[in-house]
Amino acid sequence: MRETHVIVMALASELEEVAEFVRKANRRHHLKALLVHADLDERWIAQMLDRADLRTLRNLLVHRSHEQPRRVLDAWKNGSQDDLIADAVALGDRIIVLTCALERIEVPWHTLRALENMKKAWRTHFEIASDGSYIHWPDADVHLDVEALRVAIDPKARQAARLQFQRKGQSFGRAIARLRKEREIRQTDIPGLSARHMRRIEGGEVFPRTSSLEKLAEAHDMALASYLDELANLQKKAG
């Protein structure tokens, strides 16, 4: 067995036929996922796993639709298995998410304001994007991706996200300032934005909202899309 990234798909009723191969791949740490299609009543899934001596696999995903395995396979193909969602369930005081690498992430509702403030009746009503890029609660219009979920429970991820946001804000702010100066526009010449707020935006202290960007584009006599394209070009030139 030379493959180091092994994904096995099997029917629950036929697990015994692939059990030896699965155990061998798992012992060698090559097994990335065992995707079991529940072609039996759920009451018998545990029995089939026990019958095949596959009781303690961490990389196990039991499914009834084709959506979850397709997301897992596509994610591994694209190398994005750690950042995309395979499946999720709202359970009690938290939501439990499986990434396409079958990492389990448990996020208590209270750790994210958007989830904590959501009506309890809405919490179980969510959709997973077809490519696994986010979870969407349509009733509350809340979208969350894997990074946001990790940040909610992991202090290190939260610090990394804060630093990334800071760098992004500083780069974006410098581009805004450069374009403004190239057009010979003063900070006091932006209708609807105070000079103080402009200093904070250009200094990277705050990331401008869409409404602020629209005001900046108008002050530069540009459409918003063209203004954003120009800022992106300036950021690329700055490296």
| Percentage with pLDDT > 90 across the chain | 67
Q: Which candidate, 48, 96, 103, 106, places its Cα nearest to that of 72?
A: 103
What is the average pLDDT score of the chain? 89
pLDDT band at 94 (very low <50, low <70, confident <90, very high): very high
- Mean pLDDT confidence for 143-158: 82
Q: Give the pLDDT confidence of 22-42 residue by residue, as tens digits.
A: 999 998 889 999 999 999 998
Tokens of 75: 């994610």
Residue 172 Ramachandran class (φ > 0 left, ψ -120 to 50 alpha, else beta): alpha
β-strands 60-63, 31-37 pairing: parallel
| pLDDT number for residue 166 | 64
For tokens 């997301």, the residue is: 71
Residue 209 DSSP symbol = P
Burial bucket for residue 163 (CB in 10 Å: 0-12, 13-18, 19+): exposed
Q: Domain ranges in the chain? A: 6-64, 85-153, 156-238
When pLDDT is averaged across residues 94-107 and rounded to a whole number, the result is: 94
pLDDT for the residue 211 = 85
Measured CA distances, 1 to 24, 27, 46, 53, 57 (Å): 9, 12, 28, 21, 19
At 223 the pLDDT is 92
Q: Which CATH architecture has domain 156-238?
A: Orthogonal Bundle (1.10)
CB atoms under 10 Å from CB of 25, counted, come to 22
Shared fold status for 85-153 and 156-238? no
- Output the pLDDT for position 239: 67
User: Quick one: average pLDDT of 120-146?
Assistant: 93
The lowest-confidence range among 31-35, 182-186, 211-215 is 211-215
Handedness of CA 158, 160, 163, 165 (dihedral sign): negative
Domain 85-153 has CATH 3.40.50.720: no
> Based on the number of CB atoms within 10 Å of its own CB, is 13 exposed (0-12), middle (13-18) or buried (19 or more)?
middle
Token pair 């992106």 is at which residue? Answer: 232
- Mean pLDDT in residue range 90-97: 94
